[in-house]
Amino acid sequence: MSTPPNLSPQQVSAFPQHETIIGVVERLTFYSAESGYTVARLTRPRSTELTTIVGSFANIQPGQTLQLTGFWRDHPQFGPQFQVVNYKETKPATITGIEKYLGSGLIKGVGPVTAKRIVAHFGLETLDIIENQIERLIEVQGIAKKRITLIKNAWSTQKAIKEVMVFLQGHGVSTTYAVKIYKQYKDEAIATVTKNPYQLAADIYGIGFLTADKIARNIGIAPDSEFRYRAGIIHCLSVAAEDGHCYLPQSQLIESVIKLLTTESHQPTEEAIALIIKDMALADDLIRERDEDKTLLCYKPAYFHTEQNLAQLIRQRLENPVGTDIERVRDWIDRFTASRKIQLSEQQRQAVETAAYSKIMILTGGPGVGKTFTTHTIVSLWKAMGKSIALAAPTGRAAQRLGEMTGLEAKTIHRLLEFDPRSRGFKRDSENPLPHTAIIADEASMLDLFLAYSLVKAVLAGALLLLVGDIDQLPSVGPGQILADLINSGRVPVVRLTQVFRQAQTSAIITAAHQIN
């Protein structure tokens, strides 16, 4: 059994496999400046072979002497590795160790040659001299006052990192999170965590309310802290979003927050939570609005504004339909169906005609009603119109089916919009729109609020957008039921196919699906 990687020092003791080792970092095999994730090789006393260590480090350089707490594991490809749970830096004890430490690049302004001179002059007292009497470096040949200032600043930075890591690990913060916290706040890390540890949940990916709440308890933040109440409110709205909700009625939100924040020694009141919600709304940290029944609805600002912006974008697109000669379209449909000896139902024919001029349109219907065939015909029409066509779907499998059906390349929506993992955003947007003049998004029932907004925002002003989907099939994983809401709005052109074709009528699954609906 392996120990989970994100444990506090108190939790580590629950695992009998943990142990502490000491060694000097020989070299870095891999280091991510963004996350701190590191694979390094360690020289240990009385060991002839290098030890591979894996973990998160705020700053690590060859030459550092580290005391590491963790556990051993066998990697199937690379063999034994020491998984670091917590660590602290210790001073090197030998002349050679000090020299390697100083010359490792850890201290800006000191390279291997300068390090050798400094250690040759001060010996084992070198690190104490730098710590307490750094001006004495002027005694070393080749070191001027300007370089001493540079070394002093670099040494202070390393000292600050050490202090932050010691403080965080001393309050039950795992090394992984401690590294993330330091990289986010730098020298302000201790002040931020001490004042409002719940800020971590808002600023640092991977740290949620529950982790921040645990840190808060460890450093003595009161259970009725306003910071705690505010963070609890946002957390409950986030949990609701995971269940598909863009908002919660205020009464339901208050109930969820009380359940979340209640401890053995403290239970929030409805009045206290309601007052915080009101204050947050006044500061725009929360959006409140009343529905038709005068019920107060509470949104996280990002959800509210995205929903508003999406509705506005769609309304603007509907205000300027494409000028199309509908008689030419009908003639094309007649020639197309005659040449292929096929027949379209009235609903299918209406869908093809509408797709020729509507900037945004929905094609919907249950299984076996001809959505696939109709989509294929629309693609053929768009080709005849000289459109540049893009096909996409929320999942890879749906995109593959769409591509096979139309004979054109189809992508996931994330790939179409050029998702950037670093920024966690899309490269395609209103400033850099898609170059296509006609776009089909299949399985549109799976579009959540943010993906739908990103897609519509990236569509050229004069382009056509066809959303194909069945609202009775898979819903979105994220918040919102975009396809259903657009259909129910009555504002977007919708063609609903209802006629089950003969070949589909023999399918027990399709028949049962329609009976259930």
Question: Does one domain contain both 23 and 125?
Answer: yes
Q: What is the pLDDT of residues 129-144, one digit of tens each?
A: 888 898 999 999 888 8
Statement: residue 3 has pLDDT above 50: no
Q: Residue 233 CB: number of other CB atoms within 10 A?
A: 26
Whether 269 and 369 share a structural domain:
no
Domain assignment present for 411: yes
Helix (H) or strand (E) run with residue 509 in it: helix 508-516
pLDDT over 90 at 417, yes or no: yes
- Amino acid identity, position 305: H
Residues 339 and 417 in one domain: yes
Final residue before a domain boundary, out of 249, 268, 299 = 299
Question: In this structure, what token pair is assigned to residue 13?
Answer: 């003791």
In a domain, 177, yes or no: no
Note every long-range contact of 95-100, with CB atoms under 8 Å and residues 24 or more positions apart, other chains counting. Answer: 95/119, 95/123, 95/124, 97/24, 97/63, 97/65, 98/124, 98/126, 98/127, 100/24, 100/62, 100/63
188 part of a folded domain:
no
Residue among 26, 50, 52 at smallest CA distance from 39 = 52
Question: Which domain covers residue 349, as residue numbers?
Answer: 321-516
Answer yes or no: is pLDDT of 468 > 60: yes
pLDDT of residue 257: 97
DSSP per position, 151-197? HHHHHHHHHHHHHHHHHHHHTT--HHHHHHHHHHHGGGHHHHHHH-T
Same structural domain, 142 and 265: no
- Tell me, yes or no, whether 501 lies in a domain: yes
* Domain harbouring 110, CATH code: 2.40.50.140
- Whether 513 shows a pLDDT value over 70: the answer reads no
Please check whether residues 234 and 339 belong to one and the same domain: no
Q: How far is the C-alpha of 389 from the C-alpha of 440, rounded, in Å?
A: 8
Report yes or no on 178 lying in a domain: no
| pLDDT score of 284 more than 70 | yes
Token pair recorded at residue 1: 């059994």
In Å, what is the CA distance from 131 to each residue of 159, 299, 314? Answer: 9, 52, 63
CATH number for the domain spanning 294: value is: 1.10.10.2220
On whether both 251 and 399 belong to a single domain, the answer is no
Cα 133 from Cα 501, distance rounded (Å): 89
Model confidence at 368: pLDDT above 80: no
- Answer yes or no: pTM beyond 0.95: no
Task: Reply yes or no on whether the pLDDT at 30 is more than 80.
Answer: yes
For residue 182, is it within any domain? no
In DSSP terms, 2 is beta-bridged to: none
CA distances from 478 to 98, 484, 486, 489 (A): 53, 14, 17, 20
Q: If pLDDT is split at 50, 70 and 90, which confidence band does 473 have? A: low
Q: Which of 180, 145, 155 is nearest to 58 (CA)?
A: 180
Has residue 498 got a pLDDT over 50? yes
User: What's the confidence (pLDDT) of residue 472?
Assistant: 66
pLDDT at 474: 64
Q: Report the domain count for the chain.
A: 3
Q: Residue 244: left (phi > 0), alpha (psi -120 to 50), or beta?
A: left
What pLDDT is attached to residue 476? 77
Of 411, 397, 354, 400, the closest CA to residue 378 belongs to: 354
**Identity (one letter) of the amino acid at 408?**
L
How many separate helices (H) and strands (E) can be counted in the chain? 22, 16
pLDDT at 197 over 70: yes
Pair 328, 230 in one domain: no
Is there a domain that residue 439 lies in? yes
My answer on whether 412 and 495 are in the same domain is yes
Q: Any idea what the CATH number is for the domain that residue 493 is in?
A: 3.40.50.300
User: Is 200 found in the same domain as 157?
Assistant: no
Judge if 333 and 392 occupy the same domain.
Answer: yes
Rg (CA), the chain: 31
Per-residue pLDDT, 517: 45
Out of 151, 168, 185, a domain closes at 168
What secondary structure, in 3-state letters, does 58-72 show?
A: CCCCCCCEEEEEEEE
State residue 507's pLDDT score: 46
pLDDT digits (tens, 9 = 90+) for 299-323: 999 999 999 999 999 999 988 777 7
Could you tell me if residue 459 is inside a domain?
Answer: yes
Residues 352 and 390 in one domain: yes
Q: Which pLDDT score, from 0 to 100, does residue 144 have?
A: 86
Mean pLDDT of the chain: 87
Angle between the N-to-C axes of helices 396-406 and 371-384, in degrees from 0 to 180, rounded to the nearest 10: 60
| One domain for residues 32 and 123 | yes
pLDDT of residue 112: 86
For residue 3, give both structure tokens. Answer: 């120990």
**Torsion sign (Cα): 496, 502, 504, 507:** positive
Classify residue 405 as exposed, middle or buried by CB count within 10 Å of its CB (0-12, 13-18, 19+).
middle
